[in-house]
Amino acid sequence: MAEQNPIAPRVIAPPFTLETATLKVRAAEDAWNSRDPVRVALAYTEDSTWRNRSEFVTGRDEIRAFLSRKWSTELDYRLIKALWAFTVNRIGVRFRYEWHDAAGNWFRSYGNELWEFDESGLMRRREASINDVPISESERTFFWPAPGPRPSDHPGIPDVR
């Protein structure tokens, strides 16, 4: 029996169970917290379609460009995602992230995403609805070292307030 490469990420593909859907959400969170557009784009099909706020993106090249723009303006970005619901090949998540702009204005962004996956576990469709709320720096709640994954002992998304 071949040994699994400990460095290669585990592929999580449909049909989803509560366990695998939860793992898929955490894997996505960790990837996005890397702020690496190349790494993140590999989780999507070559022709993946997105709606992110009012922007429509198609394919990995556009995904990489979108994420590069995003993380060049949303500074000190830290994200937490939580499973909301799932079916055989779809997952719904809620998320919250904090960031600041170049002028030092802090924001907390709240949202929901709908994901659809192909049979190999790549996301072929992503729809995101996001709202930004200005916050003071003292209202921040996400402080782990960034870029990088949320520590395993850090709580998930707090109650919305």
CATH code where residue 76 lies: 3.10.450.50
Residue 83 maps to a domain: yes
pLDDT at 11: 82
Residue 151 maps to a domain: no
What tokens were used for 22?
């939860």
Q: How many domains does the chain have?
A: 1
Give the model confidence (pLDDT) of 35-78 as tens digits: 999 999 999 999 999 999 999 999 999 999 999 999 999 999 99
The pTM score is 0.91
Q: Is the pLDDT of residue 14 over 80?
A: yes
Radius of gyration of the chain (CA): 16
CA distances from 160 to 11, 14, 96, 109, 156 (A): 31, 30, 9, 11, 12
Give me the chain's average pLDDT, please.
Answer: 93
Structural domain that includes position 82: 18-139
Burial of 86 (0-12, 13-18, 19+ CB in 10 A): buried
Residue 54 maps to a domain: yes
Secondary element (H or E) of residue 102: none
Q: What is the mean pLDDT of residues 105-121?
A: 97
What tokens were used for 79?
């994200």
Residue 106 maps to a domain: yes
Residue 135 maps to a domain: yes
